Structure 1
Amino acid sequence: MSHMLGLGAKFPTFSKKAVVTLDTEFVDITNEDHIKSGKWMVMFWWPKDFTFVCPTEIAEFNKRAGDFADRDANLIGASTDSEFVHLAWRNNHADLKGLKFPMLADTSKSLAEELGILTDGDKVAYRVTYIVDPQGIIRWVSANDLSVGRNVDEVIRVLDALQTDELCPCNWKPGEATL
């Protein structure tokens, strides 16, 4: 694995195809869209479509899509599969039919490579989640091994903490005092 981009780094420039609906609607998503929106971005990567841990995570992120929207955060899912594979998986898997966020296709693997999140052998993405601020700076990175699903509550908790713009103690939850 190459060096993983971390805290304080500028999120790389990108322009990728993404699936946004259940028919064949593909759109281009760019880092410029993110910056222009003035919102936060939460981008979560999974290794491969049509695998087993991934749909549980994607379904959970989808269930919580409104929570991200309420926090002015654009939620984007991503893998190195093509937009056509994403579409087939969405059409094929009951839990993925009503997705409220785009599935980004990093078919060339250029973005995953720049982020430094590709596995050595198969060159698939690790389960990595980025929280990027409205200026395009990475403010949080969480990386899981391929076999371990992530905790969506923790992603939302960290997003809340970052958005307070204050010092948040260990195990801080929204509504609690900051330091």
Structure 2
Amino acid sequence: MTRPPLPHDFQRQVPDLTVTSTDVTDGGTLGEAQVLAGGDLSPQLSWSGFPAETKSFAVTCFDPDAPTGSGWWHWIVFDIPATVTSLPTGAGSGDFAGLPAGAVQGRNDYGTKNFGGAAPPAGHGPHRYVFSVTALGVEKLGLDSDTSAAAIGATIGFRAVARGTVIAEYENK
């Protein structure tokens, strides 16, 4: 079976930035802490190597393999100040602990404003979870937390000046 494209395959190309995590390994398997029934904790993320014109950041988690025809947004945070270069484990809890002042947490495809962990259908095979950090050329996207995930994702793509990802898989056997 051919896997769906990654979310940034549809966006204009921008320079890479480096994303690392103490909780998620690029090319690895998600831990139980990042699974909906296992802990539902957003992973720690750090980033570096972004251009001088960066004015803010956005952090997202997207599953392109969800059987929806349009993927599944697990987490969307934007308007993160350019002075912030990491988020701690659990920053996406929904209570804004660990998120910097001014950051906006958008509504994910579970309908909540937090990190919603991995929950692929049983037997559907491995799903990829694309954790992206995007450097933006604007301080504020001009969107609110009730804007659709697709519209936020598109706006992030249009305003991107650099981007990096960590991609891990999870399968519900």
Asked if TM exceeds 0.5, the reply is no
Task: Tell me the TM-score normalized by structure 2.
Answer: 0.28
- Specify which structure has the higher proportion of helix: 1
Higher strand content, 1 or 2: 2
Name the TM-score, length of structure 1 as normaliser.
0.27
Greater gyration radius: 1
